[in-house]
Structure 1
């Protein structure tokens, strides 16, 4: 019944769910990402039997040995086609079932013979035959036989105990699993309802994501100034901005050149004045020294020699520069001032502004285009909503919900009955196991009492009570075995035939999907339909839609659209043709004409200004002459050295006016050095650096200006010739970005509908739960383990009876025994 109900669920879904698959999660950097609401299911994908799984596998191996034949596909097909005739097919059935039949026949023989044997054995014992006579003949190997029988019975009892344990485990496992059936049904129906209720939410999510996509596109359209205009600006920037930067730098250089010229010119005037003052001071010192050397003492040796030396060195006290010959830079300054009358920096800023206004120009020229694209995007949303209404997903799911409700009602109505019957079954199984347990307990007690109560020195008629009790226990076990073993074997045969056939004819072919392959046989379930499933779903039985393919796709959690090939009913690709939706947007972009040809980087006045600066003459200045003069020392001799030498010579003179006069002049020379030479040297160094800097700025001035103008011409030519292509290229990128949102969205919608919406894994899980879990794992596996364990224990009762009867003779107290003497043996009866 569970198998039938689960198939009804699957067929109901197939016939009544023309649905599309939920949107898939798509993730990519800097791109819109969509992710469906997750559906969480409770039912596990697979069932684990736990430790008892090893026992189930052992039974399956036994069944495979008993029934190794392949699945009878042809016979099953004929049964489903109602073309099965037993008379010509019985040989195939017998051939397939031969292993089970043999085992069942052996079981029937056991069932028939064991009561007869027990009855005959009991009558025989009552007639003091078959070991019924309470007399034990003495044998030489009696001790060995007793031990052999005891060990053999003990081993057999161990095997019987193992079978009983298997029976208890199977009986308990079956009850435990039946108790879990309600939980299994609850989780499966909850998962089915999650699927049915979650699918509309997924569809709503898909439609809702269009709003997100549209808002993102609208934001980019409103931001066209920075996206498209900024893109065009960035493409042109590497060619334009460096030129404007060079012109700006040249404008700054012109100002700096004027400042340098004025600095050098001012410094030159100051140097000329300082040099004149220095010459005057040096001339005064020379004159004072000459007057001092006219002293009479200079005519007296050796003072005369010193005076002559001083007189000869006076020529060194002179100016070392010709700064007066250096021309002023007034003309060049005037020329630069003329250049500065034109504000080149302002013209450059106008060029910057003209170029930086490109984004604003783009925004102003695309207002109508943006309005048209927004209108197209709004219409796309309406079309997608219409498509969602054309696909009757929710109507079909509501129809399928009826099947779920009917099945759920039926299952929950019958579950209490199943649980009640299982309680009876469990009690019966418990009785069977306890009965076998009782038998094996009597055997164990017999072995225990007999073994430990046995006295080797006691004669058969004098055996102890404990030993005798052991023998009684063994015979009680034998009696109970004869009474009930045939009933146990009936249970074993019935459960074996049923469980074994269900395992081989249902469970195994379901797991290897041969059942689905049989159902997929053309014209099997309906002689007019090649493919039964497609006939139910589309009323087109020629579409290759199979049960096996549907089950496999559902196991992989594919959507119903792909699983049931619903494109044969509603082709989503035709209704969601991306080009049909994005074509209008492309046309709007292509029809837009963006014109930015009126960019002026530098006006003609700016060009003339640069040319005038290049011809201002600052590059024609005799920088070498200036550098040469500024690089000289102010005096021909180091005045400090000269003063020290003069003072040293004065110290060598005798006391008098001459000596004092020379020393006074030496101090005057030092004062001139500190007060005039040192400042003059500093000024000349500053002037040297200034003229050096000016030389650097003016070097190849004409070449620099020409290079700037050439770059300017190149940039303006680039703007004239290539701006349109840059606009086209950036417009395509911008259009592709906007269109890409919707292409991605529409592609996501298509993939979601075809692969994810109404992913039917809960259906496959429900079918697995009904057949593989409930029928096979919950019921058949424990049933097979039960008959395997009970059957093994029952079979071993046969040798156990034999050994117990044999062994009881050695434990029970006999009524008579053999008596031995040297001549003859005479049986004696003791009463």
Structure 2
């Protein structure tokens, strides 16, 4: 019995495994049918055009506050001297009609405009003439003993008051001279620093302009190169139209077609599995039937012998055992369902070779890219020709931009930079000479200041107010001599210094009022914009513009770092929207693709005969009934003749006849042998037979609904292919063309934005003009004006310095003749208070 239970358990496990395999096949079939169609993939984006790499420029100069420390004072003075506005009409008349310079009216206008400078020049000339003349006359007078040449000083009661007053005036004047002299030193040093900066700034400015002129054609070429990249990208897409467009068509057909092919593949696997199971069933059934026949014959032989033994009269108690002998019959009948029709249906399905249908569908699907390539050869060739037309149109955009003259300007700037480098040593040498001369002038003025300061220091130190003028100390006398030396130096050099002041004043003042000031407020550019000022120069006509374009407008746009497109009004020369209008090519390209239709071969997934065979297979599988054979197998599995053998052994123990006893024991052993044969041979075969039948039943019960579902899916896929293939090809072709045109549209938008907003940003040009203004006006003119203003300041205060120092010197110098001061005021004696003694 234990062996029987183990065999029964193994039978159940094997049957469960076969049913699990059958259910797994059905589940895979259902999943293959239920796969959803993939969603359409959006149009892939092409590579975006690269942005412009703007050139790197040198830093522009920033005005040092130390360089313009006196600019406010000097400019206020110049505005006072020249309050008139910029004489635009007078300059135009002088430039356009040079002959009018000798006209009295023109000369009068010029003198009226320059009246402030003329008045200052007249004062300067008067100073230049009178200062040496007065000095010469004073020197002669003093040599003759006049004009303070007589060394005699009258002693009065107000003597000390006069000395203190003159001392204070001389001190204040000397301090003012010292301040002016300090300004001279600073302005001289500022001018030196300015000249040192000028060479570097000029190089930087020219380098920035050179860089700008070189980078501008590169930016235009960059736009052109990006167009070539776009054309090449589209051309590469056309060369790979088979994989690209074919892949999209495959994606559109993939959902229903793959589901149908997968379902057909699974049905073929199910039919093959059914055929294998039917073959296994026939083999198992034959083996069981043949083995059962042998067992049945053995049981019949044992039963006949046992019947003779029990019929023996010597057999004790054998009559009661006859009923058990009658029950010794094996129920070994196996009635299997009629599987012939199912086998015939399966054979027809296998003969239809569903796998070849799947292979045919897969071949159709895989050959779509090659079919697309073959059917679009003419269209691709035509579109490539149109791409060359698009490339030539884009080339016109860049060729129409007037940048051809920039190379000549760049070469000229390069030569200018070389000249700056060549003449830099001469410039530095000339600047050292200029600095040395101006430093000598500063030192001469400082010498006068030092003489005054020494006089102011030594005079009071060595003076004793109560001493006789003839007996004054040498220290006091030395202080008075320093005053005289300072006055003499002032008379000696002041008129020469004033001459230099006059020249620098007329030069620097007029440059400021006629160049720097109008340059700063924009009137100078407005003057240059005057038509006819420069013969043959008209910016609008040079560029071929219809509207008027002035340098003032160009400068203002460049200050805001505007591109050349808007700065030079290039939109009047180039219709950029028309040249970059890609839509005019789109329709023609689409027509070329639509004219070369892609024709995919017709494919039949399942023929009507095959569908009929599958339906027959489904109906045959549905009619299988295994309940009878399962019951028979269960009955055979429950056979147990060991109980009969046990009864025979028990009966043998009560037999007095040893022969009968031996016969009963032999027959009992034979029965146990038969039972052992059943347990070891027939039961495993029954288990195998039952598992095969269960597996066949598991597939058969699902085949009906599964085949119907597969037929429905295949029908849906076939209808989809028949009705939608051409529409899918048309839509995907249009979408492919739209994608390629989208690359051009992206490029056209980028090129439009780049050309109109980024190419040729002229900020470096405006910065170069501003740098030139800083170099000329802030560095050179302001520093030069600060120097002559400081020197003129000192020359102006030389006059009170001479007067006060000469008059103060007599209070400290030793006199040749004495004078006695007598006080004639009557003095009354005031009695003192007397203290009375107590």
Same fold (TM over 0.5): yes
Residues 614 and 417 (structure 1), Cα distance of their counterparts in 2 relative to 1, 3 Å cut: same
More deviation in 344-353 or 587-596?
587-596
Counterpart among 224, 239, 259 of residue 242 in structure 1: 259
Residues 822 and 736 (structure 1), Cα distance of their counterparts in 2 relative to 1, 3 Å cut: same
Residues 386 and 76 (structure 1), Cα distance of their counterparts in 2 relative to 1, 3 Å cut: closer
Q: Which residue of 1 aligns with 2:270?
A: 253
Is residue 786 of structure 1 aligned with residue 787 of structure 2? yes
Correspondence 1:24-35 to 2 at 5 A: 30-31=46-47, 33=49
Is residue 727 of structure 1 aligned with residue 729 of structure 2? yes
Is residue 53 of structure 1 aligned with residue 65 of structure 2? yes
More deviation in 195-204 or 58-67?
195-204
Correspondence 1:437-448 to 2 at 5 A: 437-443=446-452, 445=454
- Offset at residue 133 of structure 1 (A): 4.3
- Offset at residue 676 of structure 1 (A): 8.8
Q: Which residue of 2 aligns with 1:776?
A: 777
Is residue 429 of structure 1 aligned with residue 441 of structure 2? no
- Offset at residue 225 of structure 1 (A): 0.7
> For residues 157 and 557 of structure 2, what CA distance do their matches in structure 1 show?
77
> For residues 717 and 525 of structure 2, what CA distance do their matches in structure 1 show?
75
C-alpha RMSD of the superposition: 6.6
Residues 625 and 790 (structure 1), Cα distance of their counterparts in 2 relative to 1, 3 Å cut: farther
- Offset at residue 166 of structure 1 (A): 1.7
Counterpart among 519, 542, 545 of residue 549 in structure 2: 545
> For residues 817 and 680 of structure 1, what CA distance do their matches in structure 2 show?
173
- Offset at residue 226 of structure 1 (A): 0.7
Residues 621 and 427 (structure 1), Cα distance of their counterparts in 2 relative to 1, 3 Å cut: same
More deviation in 146-155 or 595-604?
146-155
Correspondence 1:383-422 to 2 at 5 A: 394=404, 396=405
Is residue 226 of structure 1 aligned with residue 236 of structure 2? no
- Offset at residue 263 of structure 1 (A): 6.2
Counterpart among 370, 373, 381 of residue 363 in structure 1: 373
Counterpart among 188, 193, 209 of residue 168 in structure 1: 188
> For residues 600 and 553 of structure 1, what CA distance do their matches in structure 2 show?
71
Residues 444 and 151 (structure 1), Cα distance of their counterparts in 2 relative to 1, 3 Å cut: closer
Correspondence 1:698-777 to 2 at 5 A: 698-740=700-742, 764=766, 767-770=769-772, 772-777=773-778
> For residues 396 and 765 of structure 2, what CA distance do their matches in structure 1 show?
29
Q: Which residue of 2 aligns with 1:351?
A: 361
Query: CA contact under 8 A between 2:539 and 2:550: conserved in structure 1?
Result: yes
- Offset at residue 158 of structure 1 (A): 5.5
Q: Larger Rg: 1 or 2?
A: 2
Q: Which residue of 2 aligns with 1:664?
A: none
> For residues 456 and 266 of structure 1, what CA distance do their matches in structure 2 show?
158
Is residue 611 of structure 1 aligned with residue 615 of structure 2? yes
Q: Which residue of 2 aligns with 1:596?
A: 600
Q: Which residue of 2 aligns with 1:309?
A: none
Q: Secondary structure at the match of 2:440?
A: helix
> For residues 466 and 281 of structure 1, what CA distance do their matches in structure 2 show?
169
> For residues 338 and 819 of structure 2, what CA distance do their matches in structure 1 show?
163
Counterpart among 346, 363, 383 of residue 373 in structure 1: 383
Q: Which residue of 2 aligns with 1:647?
A: none
Correspondence 1:210-359 to 2 at 5 A: 212-259=229-276, 332=342, 335-359=345-369
| Deviations 1:78-97, CA, capped at 9 Å, x for gaps | 64266996699799958xx9
- Offset at residue 735 of structure 1 (A): 2.1
> For residues 603 and 249 of structure 1, what CA distance do their matches in structure 2 show?
17
> For residues 787 and 118 of structure 1, what CA distance do their matches in structure 2 show?
23
| Deviations 1:247-294, CA, capped at 9 Å, x for gaps | 223322333444556667877888999999999999x9xxx9xxxxxx
Q: Which residue of 2 aligns with 1:303?
A: none
> For residues 154 and 695 of structure 2, what CA distance do their matches in structure 1 show?
144
> For residues 493 and 578 of structure 2, what CA distance do their matches in structure 1 show?
74
Q: Secondary structure at the match of 1:48?
A: coil
Query: CA contact under 8 A between 1:156 and 1:800: conserved in structure 2?
Result: no
> For residues 281 and 803 of structure 1, what CA distance do their matches in structure 2 show?
168
| Deviations 1:156-177, CA, capped at 9 Å, x for gaps | 4662453133232133124424
Is residue 516 of structure 1 aligned with residue 525 of structure 2? yes
> For residues 127 and 289 of structure 2, what CA distance do their matches in structure 1 show?
146
Counterpart among 88, 92, 97 of residue 76 in structure 1: 88
Counterpart among 474, 485, 490 of residue 481 in structure 1: 490
Q: Secondary structure at the match of 2:68?
A: helix
Residues 509 and 603 (structure 1), Cα distance of their counterparts in 2 relative to 1, 3 Å cut: farther
- Offset at residue 594 of structure 1 (A): 2.0
Q: Which residue of 1 aligns with 2:34?
A: none
Correspondence 1:428-577 to 2 at 5 A: 428-443=437-452, 445=454, 469-470=478-479, 472-492=481-501, 494-496=503-505, 498-520=507-529, 525=533, 532-538=538-544, 543-554=547-558, 562-568=566-572
Query: CA contact under 8 A between 1:631 and 1:688: conserved in structure 2?
Result: no
Query: CA contact under 8 A between 2:501 and 2:791: conserved in structure 1?
Result: yes
> For residues 628 and 119 of structure 1, what CA distance do their matches in structure 2 show?
160
Residues 91 and 794 (structure 1), Cα distance of their counterparts in 2 relative to 1, 3 Å cut: closer
> For residues 65 and 271 of structure 1, what CA distance do their matches in structure 2 show?
135
> For residues 503 and 759 of structure 1, what CA distance do their matches in structure 2 show?
31
Residues 788 and 391 (structure 1), Cα distance of their counterparts in 2 relative to 1, 3 Å cut: closer
- Offset at residue 612 of structure 1 (A): 3.4
> For residues 295 and 477 of structure 2, what CA distance do their matches in structure 1 show?
156
> For residues 465 and 677 of structure 2, what CA distance do their matches in structure 1 show?
151
> For residues 809 and 711 of structure 1, what CA distance do their matches in structure 2 show?
134
Residues 370 and 441 (structure 1), Cα distance of their counterparts in 2 relative to 1, 3 Å cut: same
Q: Secondary structure at the match of 2:65?
A: helix
> For residues 687 and 132 of structure 1, what CA distance do their matches in structure 2 show?
163
> For residues 74 and 380 of structure 1, what CA distance do their matches in structure 2 show?
54
> For residues 803 and 687 of structure 1, what CA distance do their matches in structure 2 show?
147
Aligned residues: 739
Query: CA contact under 8 A between 2:127 and 2:495: conserved in structure 1?
Result: yes
Query: CA contact under 8 A between 1:32 and 1:213: conserved in structure 2?
Result: no
Q: Which runs of 5+ in 2 are unaligned?
A: 1-43, 307-323, 644-670, 828-838
> For residues 210 and 579 of structure 2, what CA distance do their matches in structure 1 show?
29
| Deviations 1:512-555, CA, capped at 9 Å, x for gaps | 4343345446x67499x9x95324543x7x62212122234455
> For residues 92 and 339 of structure 1, what CA distance do their matches in structure 2 show?
121
Residues 768 and 157 (structure 1), Cα distance of their counterparts in 2 relative to 1, 3 Å cut: closer
TM-score, normalising length from structure 2? 0.66
Q: Which residue of 1 aligns with 2:75?
A: 63
More deviation in 491-500 or 724-733?
491-500
Query: CA contact under 8 A between 1:171 and 1:430: conserved in structure 2?
Result: no
Residues 387 and 536 (structure 1), Cα distance of their counterparts in 2 relative to 1, 3 Å cut: closer
More deviation in 350-359 or 758-767?
758-767
> For residues 710 and 70 of structure 1, what CA distance do their matches in structure 2 show?
104
> For residues 639 and 120 of structure 2, what CA distance do their matches in structure 1 show?
139
| Deviations 1:694-728, CA, capped at 9 Å, x for gaps | 66645553333222222222223223333333222
Query: CA contact under 8 A between 2:618 and 2:703: conserved in structure 1?
Result: yes
Residues 276 and 812 (structure 1), Cα distance of their counterparts in 2 relative to 1, 3 Å cut: farther
- Offset at residue 443 of structure 1 (A): 4.4
> For residues 389 and 605 of structure 1, what CA distance do their matches in structure 2 show?
70
Residues 777 and 720 (structure 1), Cα distance of their counterparts in 2 relative to 1, 3 Å cut: farther
